[in-house]
Structure 1
Amino acid sequence: MKNLKSIALALVVVLSTFSVTAQTKKVDAAKSSINWLAKKVTGQHNGTVNLKDGALVFKGKKLVGGSFTADMTSLTSTDLTGEYLGKLNGHLKSEDFFSTEKFPTATLVFKKIGSKSPNVYTVIADLTIKGITNPVTFDITVAENSATTKFMVDRTKYDIKYGSKSFFESIGDKAIYDEFELNVNLTF
């Protein structure tokens, strides 16, 4: 019996030395993309914002963390050209929307991660835009060297009220919907 306890204790000690340590995988910002889609009553606009940096954290093959910084000064529309592109980009970067001069970055930090199915996780993260932090929830699919997610963001939670019917009832067909979509493709 004493010998069995010694063997069990030795096994516990050996197994504890093989514990899985966290591995941080830096995201390749140049090969990754963040696409946005914003809708209004009379149409929509879409575009991109560049990822400045980011990383996903794994224990073995399990996703356990992540954090990202977006370069808000790179915000641009991809559905317009010329004068209209300049006007929309200028407006999106202004105080009416993202105030990119004052807030040049936005961040996303994973807070809680649950496994939904193999390689698919449900994430609760803190999203900070214009210095305001709110939780967002989304599913992320992780492959060998990539991850993808799509989720909605309510802009009014970040003090972006321009054209919102929630704040300006008589705006009519000039209303811009409160939520915009982010479609993120990460390569690491």
Structure 2
Amino acid sequence: MKKLLLPALIAVSLLAAPAYAGNPATAAAAARTSKAADKSYKLQPQLSTLGWVGKKVTGQHNGNIQFKDGTVLVRGTQIVGGMFTVDMNSLKVEDIKEAEYNGKLVGHLRSEDFFSIEKNPTSTFKITKVAALKGDAAGNNATITGDLTIKGITQSISFPAKVGVKGGVASASGTATIDRTKFDIKYGSKSFFESIGDKAIMDDFTLSFNVIAKQ
């Protein structure tokens, strides 16, 4: 009897092991446990900044925009994701001090020629990947990749950044270069209007950010 019982127990164990390992419910539970390990930090709009610079043949303009809200996903001491919303109605020009001309430029940037802010009051950025970066002369330690949505158009972008998590605070800073024509912002672009001469506006503009998020 014992000689028959031992092989039977071994056979049952071997058959049960693969069934358990392939059990969808078990796999789903493991995935939920892994996902739960990511902590959500809340963006602090009052401590975070977002500046812009746009260049043209005859000079450049700069200003800022305010974050509306956002979250940063943290796993251990690493930033692994995030989602941010920008209040486009907060767009400001800083380099023009004369109120009339400042207002004209802000109005133009708000118009259909540029960001169409009345129809698109927010822009968003969703982090899809954070990869380690070494040997960057500017001190950046990561390459951030994500989906940027402007005027309802979404494009994937990547840029270097300095990121870190310490004492319940997640931070990220850097500069992203954006090709505005990919978001249907073609006004004054030589790529589409070759004969505009010195009235041309560069296709690329930059966004310099300093993001602070807390638990």
Secondary structure of the 1:102 match is coil
- Residue correspondences, number: 172
List structure 1 segments (4+ residues) > 6 angstroms apart after TM superposition.
Answer: none
Conserved 8 A contact 2:52-2:206: yes
Counterpart residue number, 1:130: 151
Counterpart of 2:3 in structure 1 is: none
Q: How much has 1:36 moved relative to structure 2? A: 0.2
Correspondence list, 1:35-50, <5 A: 35-50=51-66
SS in 1 for 2:79: strand
CA distance in 2, matches of 1:87, 1:169: 25
* The one of 86, 93, 103 aligned to 1:77: 93
User: Aligned residues: percent identity?
Assistant: 51
Structure possessing the higher radius of gyration over alpha carbons: 2
Q: Give the counterpart letter for 2:144 in structure 1.
A: V
Distance 1:42 1:116 in 2: 35
Structure ranking higher in strand proportion? 1
Query: TM-score, normalised on structure 2?
Result: 0.76
Which residue of the partner structure matches residue 6 of structure 1?
none
The match for 2:201 among 171, 176, 186 is 176
1:95 is the counterpart of 2:116: no
* RMSD of equivalent CA atoms: 1.8
Deviations 1:25-73 (A, max 9, x none): 1110011110000000000000001100111111100111011000011
TM-score when normalising by structure 1: 0.87
Q: Alpha-carbon deviations, 1:67-96, whole Å to 9, x = none?
A: 100001111111112101000000000000
Q: Where does structure 1 lack aligned partners over 5 or more consecutive residues?
A: 1-15
Structure 2 runs not aligned, ≥5 long: 1-29
For residues 125 and 59 of structure 1, what CA distance do their matches in structure 2 show? 18
